[in-house]
Chain A
């Protein structure tokens, strides 16, 4: 019996098609894994199932009946529960109060007994009377799972749940999922790791670029077929010979350990060095710790321990503007949240990282300001008439060009750090940015790029490192590696 069926779901955001005519179904008592690269449409699909988004077209059937899921609350009432990737809990309540609130019930002895029994059955140990603000990040994840378990839902969705729990508790999660299935519920399990699919799933659906590529029973599919389905033509990418002539150490990271926003260890004891004249790419799946790693290098995050050296000078724990003045550029992937100040004009977005250079001692702006800005805009193919326009009114490609112009051309840079620099960009901007980075490599910059895209890692990297769970898993030479090899390591 089909618990859930999606027919021809299509969802567009502005100019991109996030989901294109996708079919999906879930049977009673099965685990259906949803597999795909970053940006394949997994999260959008799950958001539609859990009522966050409404599809532009297509049909949702719950136990055979067509429904419209108006909101997450509506989906919850119909028996759909999502365990999100990042805990979002009411900090001022106790665990028990939060669970009661979630269930929309008044606290009572009966309710508490029910919750205790239910959690005991699944082997989840949390102190119900503890205040949530006092819990550790791992305990908060357990509370999110506890919330789902007491909800008595028909459909459970786990979004990248193992990245939440870490190695130790993985078996506990698998046990929970098997118990849920034995009770006749259905589980949708989102992951980008093929290994996990073989471990836990009954069926698997692969999404690529918003389309469904295949749905199979797990014993009728091979690892190779899944790789092919996830990455398609990208697997055929081979790196060409590299002409890097390196000299000296531009960036050196020694035993760096960094926490994420939730207080968990995101980067564990990583050491790497980038020489002048080479591009090192870090290939990683979302949440692997590469974001925190780069942010610790450029000063946006204080490391727990370890050292960061730029051109031999220790910059560990210094603020971003100090590191900027050492000649470090940072291209973040959160363009509107960090890369630019969306409400301010392009002009101010261009000067904001180098205020020391563009202002006098009194704090007034230099007269030559506009000329300098027009020149750098030219280098990224933008006309000077964008200068007074607020960044919020520009396209993603234009914003990335502004960030590029500011970070690379408004100060002499020696070290370039970039996070997912090509994510969501149009073809033209992608090639412009790639060419710019390669030109700067050839003229002697040390470049570190972290990306979640195999193709970009292969095309750009002189050396390619694969990162997982905050550690460097393996290193490849950019001139000999194939995308297929990288894909295998990435999806282990």
Chain B
């Protein structure tokens, strides 16, 4: 008697084209499932797709909003890439994003409020980078000194950052002019950026990151560290130095993300400043397979989700939380791609 069994077998080698095709198919799958979800919510899936596209790319207004979300998500995505390439699991981009915005505000509202424009933007970026970088660096130090896993510390440090944000909004930097809702003092006007300006800075940061990671030995050092301490040591890489450097770099990128978002939106902080761009960036990083040059594409898709949220809520009367569900589906799609690039399912006759 022959029985047919399903077995999971390791794949030999996959081409880049196969990987791309698989990614696209999985994403289509994720959106099909989202459509089914809509049916359960009593919404016509076609209406959902149409509003999703209109509110994110098909209208000028929508596209502008998407691009404004692209900047923070892209930078958090780069932040994730820099640490994951070294097999360091920084998942606290959201916290570093908050701290980056806070240090940028400290510089632009209190420390150097009278600096003229080109210099003010440099201060803005550097302050954000320093804040986010140091926030992540603390976790890198803990990893080296007492071997505490950075995935735990970076996540917990997010909650510390969140409380700090609450503290500055409600107590330390609270602007008494706003009655009712707790908000901080604003950045000095010459620190404020247009969407185009923040996009330009983000692209510059992307190019610098790409150069460092893909064209210099710093990137190779990250890769070697991800292959294990012993190989790294054997090839002359000092693991602790690379851990500190990559955690700082990673945190700095998330910090810049917070600084730019602050300067290109309201200019002041409020307790609702943290909306999850850091976590979206992590998903984008896996979606682009940790490749810097594909990061904009993956981040753009996540930004589309964010920009369509309000339109979906307004037009279809679904909760805005639906975008969290779709984000989850995209993550599932990423995992599917990872599985199928490594394994295949075969039927075996026994």
Contacts and interface: CB of A to CB of B under 8 A. Distances in A.
B220 A393 contact: no
Interface stretch (A63-71, A161-169, A189-197, A316-324): A316-324
A275 to B, nearest CB: 26
Contacts of A341: 223-224, 227-228, 231, 235
Given A348-B220, A352-B224, A338 B236 contact: no
Interface in A333-366: 337-338, 340-344, 348, 351-353, 355-356, 359, 362-365
A348 B214 CA distance: 12
Contacts of B12: 393
Given A343-B226, A344-B223, A344-B224, A363 B233 contact: no
Given A338-B230, A352-B224, A319 B217 contact: no
B31 to A, nearest CB: 32
A300 interface: yes
B220 A355 contact: yes
**Size bracket of the A interface:** 20 to 34
Given A344-B227, A363-B212, 13 more contacts: A300-B230, A300-B234, A337-B230, A337-B231, A340-B231, A341-B223, A341-B235, A342-B227, A343-B223, A352-B235, A363-B216, A363-B217, A363-B218
B216 A359 contact: yes
B236 A355 contact: yes
Interface of B: 12-13, 212, 215-218, 220, 223-224, 226-228, 230-231, 233-236, 238
A165 B226 CA distance: 36
A332 B233 CA distance: 14
Nearest to B238: A319
B161 to A, nearest CB: 31
A362 B223 contact: no
Nearest to A358: B217
B236 A319 contact: yes
Interface of A: 300, 319-321, 324, 330, 332, 337-338, 340-344, 348, 351-353, 355-356, 359, 362-365, 393
Contacts of B218: 363
Given A343-B226, A344-B223, A338 B216 contact: no
Contact of A365 (B212, B217, B227, B231): B217
Given A300-B230, A337-B228, A341-B223, A353 B235 contact: yes
A319 B231 contact: no
Contact of A343 (B212, B215, B216, B227): B227
Nearest to A352: B235
A300 B233 contact: yes
A365 B221 CA distance: 13
- B212, B226, B236, B238: most-surrounded residue (chain A CB, <10 A): B236
Given A341-B223, A342-B227, A352-B224, A320 B234 contact: yes
> Interface residues of B: mostly helix, strand, loop or mixed?
helix
Given A300-B233, A324-B236, A359 B227 contact: no
18 contacts: A300-B234, A319-B233, A320-B234, A320-B235, A320-B236, A332-B234, A337-B228, A341-B224, A341-B227, A342-B227, A344-B224, A344-B227, A348-B220, A355-B235, A359-B217, A365-B215, A393-B12, A393-B13
Nearest to B212: A363
B236 A353 contact: yes
Contact of A348 (B223, B230, B234, B236): B223
Nearest to B235: A352
The list of the 3 closest CB pairs from A to B, nearest first, reads A321-B236, A363-B216, A341-B227
A348 B230 CA distance: 16
B284 to A, nearest CB: 22
Contact of A364 (B13, B216, B228): B216
Nearest to A342: B227
Nearest to A391: B227
B36 to A, nearest CB: 37
Contacts of A300: 230, 233-234
Contacts of B230: 300, 337-338
A246 B12 CA distance: 49
B294 to A, nearest CB: 18
B13 A353 contact: no
Given A321-B236, A324-B236, A359-B216, A338 B223 contact: no
Nearest to B227: A341
A344 B13 CA distance: 14
Contacts of B231: 337-338, 340-341
A344 B340 CA distance: 20
B175 to A, nearest CB: 45
B233 A320 contact: yes
Contacts of A330: 234
A419 B231 CA distance: 16
- A319, A351, A363: most-surrounded residue (chain B CB, <10 A): A363
